Structure 1
Amino acid sequence: MNKKNVTKEKKTRNVIIIKTNRKKRNPTRTYETVSSNHYEMTVAGEAMHVTIERRKGIVNSSLRLSTKGLLVRVPLDLTEKEVQDLFKNYKDWIQSKWQDLLEKKKRQKNNKGMIYYRGKPYQIKVLIEDTIEDKKERIHIDEEAQQLHLQLQSTEKSQWREILKEELRKKGKEAILQRIPELNKGYDYDYNKVTIKDQKTRWGSCSGRKNLNFSWRLILMPPTVMDYVIVHELCHLGEMNHSPMFWYRVSVMMPQYERYRQILREEGTYMARIIDEVELLE
């Protein structure tokens, strides 16, 4: 791509948007895919499906990577040379991100019988007991064997997933309610109700009434990631936006918050959802 036409680029996870100096001729912003080309290329030793879409109404190009392949969207008037320059200029980024996605896909394929707890992978092992006291802890972690032991009665085996999720929900609620006042000592914000929900992608929220909401599935992630989400929502009690002042408040408590935010973005959904799909090993 002709570099004099490029003003800047925006990167978000597995997406790059290349902004240019082209001016929008049509103020109504009508977007339409005029043509699509499909082919495969080998990246990091694995075939990657590539789709190039020429779109009417856009002025910026974008590269979007997923486990399905690479989607390239370009303005209709972009020359073939400029398209090839995109691949040349972002070759290292494409290779690095594709390698990361392949490794993540491999982890997902080999995770049978495994879930995450506090950010660490554990194999689920069911232990059958004749009777279980109501207040007895059903989950025990064996660090040496890297196993999560779930205690069940013989009649409960078919309900193992629901029981495991309920026990983890309790642990998530306990950990979150404990950490909120501890982390708030650095801010001393006033808040009202705290609600623990079962959410798979929205980890926390703060309402205008100063009510805090969190997903119990944060217990599946590293403690630092849970702390980041709590700090994030606490800071909304002071700034109901994502302004520079908001991020400054976050950094006061967590100078390395960007690192934990990145882990949440890249691994959070996978860690949170694996419990819904995992099967027991025979």
Structure 2
Amino acid sequence: MSVQMKAMKVLLRRQPDHEILELEYLPVPCELKRSQRKSLAVHVSHNRVEVRAPLRMKRTPIELFVQKHQRWIRKKLKEKQRKHAEKLTLAAGRHILYKAQEWQLVIRDQRPTGVVLEPGRFCIQAPGITDPKAEKILTDWLKLKAKEYLPARTQALAQYLGVDHKLKEVVFRKTRSKWGHCTSEGRIQYNWLIMLAPDGVIDYMICHEVCHLLHMNHSPAFWDAVASVCPDYQRYVGWLKANEHRLWF
């Protein structure tokens, strides 16, 4: 290895890969993270901004880049903070979005154990109830709803589209970001949290995954197949984008 290459490696090792940028025009901390990348990027969460930069880039162009995009950053911050405040929290007095309606969340020490829907009230109840127990009760209730609804509807639509021979099984898993998934082996997986969504959104999700048995991609042919079964699918996609953060717990 040449002396020049050795010197460059030493320089890269000494370059700090994590710094805090003191930027008065941003209302939250701005972290600078360096890595083996070629361009700048900004990622925004509800309580911080993260700038990702190449290892050897100087501070001045990085700060100019952030300043140039500060209006977009502030807009994203407001959006992220709003969604964070709306995030589903299982606590008495909070609200839960169920079937596109706002329900007051009630957690009460009462029999029988389960979920009880009253006018405007979504009640999770059990003797000696605790927060972890409330979460388990809601989880079990949603899983049961999913198992009662999704497999039969999936099978029926697969049969209608002539792909029921490709459908191997329907399974359930709570994932961090996906509502559904279809494998090339014919296994369709649903996130049971989707049962909090309106029925039209649930049926769109079924349509989306079953149409993957026809087209294992998101090509125009795939979306044509979705539209043939669910003409208003774009409305349901829009609902999910606007509200999905309120369904996770």
Q: TM-score, normalised by structure 2?
A: 0.71
Q: Which residue of 1 aligns with 2:15?
A: 34
The one of 44, 47, 66 aligned to 2:45: 66
Q: RMSD over aligned Cα, in angstroms?
A: 3.6
The structure carrying a bigger strand percent of its residues is 1
Q: Distance in 1 between matches of 2:125 and 2:114?
A: 5
Q: Look up the match of 2:4.
A: none
Tell me which moved more, 66-75 or 33-42: 33-42
**Residues 137-192 of structure 1 deviation map (CA, whole Å, 9 limit, x = unaligned):** 9533234xx2113464x4x6465443332222212222323543565587443243
Distance 1:175 1:78 in 2: 54
Residue equivalent to 1:23: none
What amino acid maps onto 1:225 in structure 2? V
Quote the Cα distance in structure 2 between the aligned partners of 1:222 and 1:33: 54
Residue aligning to 1:203: 179
Using a 3 Å threshold, how does the CA distance of structure 1 residues 219 and 241 change in structure 2: closer, same or farther? same
Gaps in structure 2 of 5+ consecutive residues = 1-11
8 Å CA contact retained: 2:87, 2:245: no
1 CA distance for matches of 2:76 and 2:246?
17
1:167 maps to amino acid: W
Match of 1:173 among 147, 163, 176: 147
1:83-232 alignment, distance < 5 Å = 83-108=62-87, 112-113=91-92, 114=94, 115-122=96-103, 123-126=105-108, 128-129=110-111, 138-143=114-119, 146-150=120-124, 152=126, 154=127, 157=129, 159-180=133-154, 187-190=161-164, 191-201=166-176, 202-232=178-208
Aligned length: 229
1:51 and 2:25 matched: no
- Asked if 2 retains the 8 angstrom alpha-carbon contact of 1:58 and 1:75, the reply is yes
Q: In structure 2, do the counterparts of structure 1 residues 258 and 85 end up closer, same or farther at CA, with 3 Å as the change threshold?
A: farther
Structure with higher helix content: 2
The Cα shift of 1:227 comes to 2.8
One-letter amino acid matched to 2:62: V
| Aligned-partner Cα distance in 2 for 1:93–1:236 | 35
Deviation at 1:240?
1.8
Structure 1 residues 193 and 76, CA gap change in structure 2 (3 angstroms): closer
Q: Is the 8 A contact 1:127 1:149 kept in 2?
A: no
Gaps of 5+ in 1: 1-30, 274-282
